[in-house]
Amino acid sequence: MIYLKLNALRNLSKDEAFNFYASEWNYLKINATSLEEFMDKLKGISAESINFHLNRGDFEKWIDGSVGDKTLSKQIAELRTRNLQGAKARIELSNIVLMRIKTLKK
């Protein structure tokens, strides 16, 4: 269990980073290589980018596949089913990620 916590909080390589896009062909040149960095980038990323990635399931895929946190991935997938957009999606997503980081640090 301790390994899983540490694994989810680790810094990833640039190849494993989450790359933010505003649309399919519009890379924002912003990435995150850890959950904490992801949390930080969510604060300033455009609502357009959050909507794009949330609607496609990109956040949960990255968190499950690269970060290795199935619990957080499932929580974000559930958030996606609520069809939140813009500022509401940012707030809810940020809260979910922040709470998971706090839990993993315990």
Q: What is the pTM of this model?
A: 0.91
Distance CA 1, CA 103 (A): 12
DSSP three-state, residue 7: helix
Q: How far is CA 74 from CA 13, 27, 29, 30, in A?
A: 23, 26, 27, 24
Q: What is the predicted pLDDT for the residue at 3?
A: 43
Q: What is the predicted pLDDT for the residue at 2?
A: 45
pLDDT digits (tens), the chain, 106 positions: 444 555 888 999 999 999 999 999 999 999 999 999 999 999 999 999 999 999 999 999 999 999 999 999 999 999 989 989 999 999 999 999 999 999 988 8
Q: What is the predicted pLDDT for the residue at 9?
A: 86
Residue 11 · residue 103 · CB < 8 Å: no
Chain centroid to Cα 58, Å, comes to 8
CB atoms within 10 A of CB 93: 22
Distance CA 81, CA 68 (A): 21
